[in-house]
Amino acid sequence: MCGIIGYIDKAPSVELGLQMAKALKHRGPDHQGAKLYAQNHCCLAHARLSIIDLRAAANQPMEYGNLAIVFNGEIYNFKEIKEELKRLGHQFMLDSDTEVILHAYEEWGTSCVNHFIGMFAFAILDQEANELILFRDRAGVKPLYYYEHENCFMFASELKALYPHPDFHKELDLEGVALYFKFGYIPTPFSIFKGVKKLPPGTYLKYSISTRTCEIFNYWNVLDYYTLPKLTLTYEEAKEQLETILKSACNYRMVSDVPVGVFLSGGYDSVGVTALLQNERTERLKTFTIGFPIGNNEAPIAKEIAHLLGTDHTEYICTPDDCKGIIPDLPYFYDEPFADNSAIPTILVSKLARRQVKVALSADAGDEIFAGYNSYTSLEKQLKYLKTVVKSDLLSNLFMQISKITNPYSFLREKSECFAKLFKYEDYHRISVAFEGGGSLMQSLFSKIINLPYPSPSFLQDERLIKEPISIAQVIDYLNYLPNNILVKVDRATMSVSLEGREPLLDHRIIEFAAQLPEEYKYLDGNKKRIFKDVVNKYVPKEIMDRPKTGFSMPINNWLKDDLRFLVEDNLNDSMDKSFFNTRFISQLKELFYAGKLGHEEKTIWRLIEFQLWHKQNMSN
């Protein structure tokens, strides 16, 4: 895990490259380096967290022939690829996955990524072709921003690495602002600044240095696998194959030259990963848990399971005082406004783990891959009701007229419960902005002169049909909520303390296999994550696991009314920019919040606080 940086302009310098790399020292404290490629007007820079091949010879930027690379992530099957390349005549000097990427690119070009099992964001400079190529992994585990301004092009793992460049300009993008207040995060490809974009997962970008033009290509798309014919395996056969793939994915994530641990909660995902790993090892895995004194607290369950599995377990209980120490740093760690308050305990569990290990496995994405969200249960009930009260052809025609007018941008978790019952599920995300109260509330936050747009994400333009409604919900969550919220949260939290976070459930082999399973193998009559749970129950009894899921959440709204009330008062007041915010309306929201009358919209208070904290740190000059 590292930080990568690069830029192309008329007069690049190593000094500026190093300055940009130092902004990512938390991602790579072990070494920062930069190299100039004058004939290509390019500088590449890197901040290294040493995990594989700890020698200085494996530092980056790394070169091979006419190729140069900066790489963030891990290629877990690099040893197998290395042997394949040796048979094709390649010779190696190191035991580094970075070196393997260079040789793989020379052999297979951009299709090299199809050989990789891993998480990655990397840039290859082809000096002979005078091209810079950026790659991002299939799920979007590793971040990658890029920025174009006149004849300058630059990229980085985090926005803050772009700030030292004199051609980088901070100008708020109102599309990014609109999306943030709508969802609590800014989805790919948008960002908080004009001119800055995020490279979508499963794509690569080619930048021609000669013509100063770029083009983005897809090399992997989850939709391809959901639209394939379903596998003709029996349930037992599918369960056996899934267990085999899960074991392989988890074991690959243990490849390291430094100590590795696991984040453990009381849920099926992290328990499954921990159980599969501990079952095949005599040494005790190190596991880590964060709990809370009030509200949702899975720490006691995690402790019980750790004892059952025999792990070396450490836990910590998060308090309001811990929040006071972390919240002021959130805008720095996340670079953009980001309102998932579980970032706080994620940072705390990362700090806890970093005292003992340099790598930690985080079991995210089980809900997206195996249909585990409660909203899927609600969807199933609504669809059963739908069949008895509406004619789909009539509603389909109505939807087409609405979508032409509004072109809305929304998802299942943001839908209006009232109007959702009137439409086919696949239409929810296109129509809900036109009807739901949340949209009008968001507009009320701002002064009348601000007209916030609703941009439409590119993946919603794909017209391929998925027949199963719950599969549609999974795809929407996989393409939006997972990479833009969950994975952003975990990456920045772990990297804030120089800890490498790994995601075994996001092995593309698991995703592809699960996408082709019959829907009833994953979800049947309210039984969520059915096949995954059955695998886990081989190792941990069903009666222990089947308790109500609380999730990795914290009682932030309770604390904001008490110990952390100062955050509300210090940030949501008359000092807010009145040309931007409707401060009178926000004052009314505060009173409703304190009185406990905001309901679901309590989230708006935290979104406002995070935006204000970010704005003060990034836009005050």
Q: Is the pLDDT of residue 578 over 70?
A: yes
Give me 197's structure tokens.
């974009």
Torsion sign across C-alpha atoms 566, 561, 617, 494: positive
- At residue 378, the pLDDT reads 79
Say if CB 416 and CB 436 are below 8 A apart: yes
Give me 21's structure tokens.
């790399």
Rounded (5°) CA angle 193-194-199: 80
Q: Is the pLDDT of residue 121 over 70?
A: yes
5 is in an annotated binding site: no
Q: What percent of the chain has pLDDT over 70?
A: 86
- At residue 40, the pLDDT reads 98
Q: Is the pLDDT of residue 391 over 70?
A: no
Q: Is the pLDDT of residue 233 over 60?
A: yes
- At residue 127, the pLDDT reads 98
Residue 188 identity (one-letter amino acid)? T
Q: What percent of the chain has pLDDT over 90?
A: 77
Give me 479's structure tokens.
């393409």
Q: Is the pLDDT of residue 399 over 50?
A: no
Phi, psi angle pair for 37, to nearest 5°? -120, 85
pLDDT band at 74; cut points 50, 70, 90: very high
Which residues are within 8 A (CB) of 431 and not within 5 positions of it... i.e. 6 or more apart?
399, 402, 403, 406, 408, 410, 419, 423
344 is in an annotated binding site: no
151-207 per-position pLDDT tens digit: 899 999 999 999 999 999 999 998 899 899 989 999 999 999 999 999 999 999 999
- Among 271, 161, 263, 218, which Cα is nearest to 501's? 263
- Among 280, 297, 281, which Cα is nearest to 289's? 297
Higher per-residue confidence, 378 vs 495? 495
**Distance between CA atoms of 37 and 154, rounded to whole angstroms?**
14
- At residue 396, the pLDDT reads 46
- Among 1, 39, 36, which Cα is nearest to 16's? 36
506-536 per-position pLDDT tens digit: 999 999 999 999 999 999 888 999 999 999 9
- Among 162, 159, 153, 160, which Cα is nearest to 190's? 159
Q: Which residues are catalytic?
A: 2
Q: Percentages helix, strand, coil for the chain, rounded to the nearest 5?
A: 45, 15, 35
Higher per-residue confidence, 299 vs 465? 299
* The CATH number of domain 224-365+482-544 is 3.40.50.720: no
pLDDT band at 427; cut points 50, 70, 90: very low
- At residue 413, the pLDDT reads 37
Instruction: Compute the mean pLDDT over every residue in the chain, rounded to the nearest whole number.
Output: 88
Q: Which CATH architecture has domain 3-220?
A: 4-Layer Sandwich (3.60)
- At residue 410, the pLDDT reads 36
Torsion sign across C-alpha atoms 181, 186, 189, 190: positive
- Domain ranges in the chain are 3-220, 224-365+482-544, 374-477, 556-619
pLDDT band at 454; cut points 50, 70, 90: low
pLDDT band at 379; cut points 50, 70, 90: confident
Say if CB 50 and CB 79 are below 8 A apart: no
Q: Is the pLDDT of residue 593 over 50?
A: yes
pLDDT band at 293; cut points 50, 70, 90: confident
- At residue 434, the pLDDT reads 28
What number is the average pLDDT over the span 417-444? 41
